Amino acid sequence: MEWKKYQGRASGRCEIDLRGEGVLADFEIGIIETGRSRVFAGYYIKVITEDGEEWVEEDPGSVRAALQALDELVAFDGGRLLCAGLHPDFYESGLSANTGFGYIESYRGAVHMMERPSLISECEQQAPKPSGAAKVLAAMRERSRAKQGHNPL
């Protein structure tokens, strides 16, 4: 008997920058159940390219943590997931946590964490023009992120 079972909850298409080439892939997000009584054991995300390359990553407490771990796994093969859930301004609310949906500051409405990054440029276009103080704070934040080695999308 198989003791660990993936139970898919959402699926769709996502984009990967794989060795410099834009690749479309199928994704599946779900929960992990274990044991004969199928006890909840965490979350997983699986990505499969049209060529059959597959990556799966798990986390016991967070879909977003599984996504971040999956991005690291894809990076070992020379790729990068191109999705909103990896954007530094993406966040989940108490109600959207572990659903695959979240929010990006200055974007109207919820977004799915696997949506393409074109969403990010739309956010920037829809955002109100920042004041002088906001520009200074944004520049300070960017310098701080650069010092920490943070790579935004």
Instruction: Spell out the domain ranges in the chain.
Output: 4-148
The two structure tokens encoding residue 65: 């943590």
Q: What is the pLDDT of residue 133?
A: 60
In the chain, which residues have pLDDT < 50? 119, 152-153
- CB of 88 within 8 A of CB of 150? yes
Q: What is the pLDDT of residue 107?
A: 77
Look at residue 137 and give its three-state secondary structure.
helix
Q: What is the pLDDT of residue 39?
A: 92
Q: What is the pLDDT of residue 125?
A: 55
Look up the pTM and report it.
Answer: 0.74
Give, as one character, the DSSP assignment of residue 87. Answer: S
Question: Within 13 Å of residue 52, how many CA atoms lie on the same side as its CB?
Answer: 0
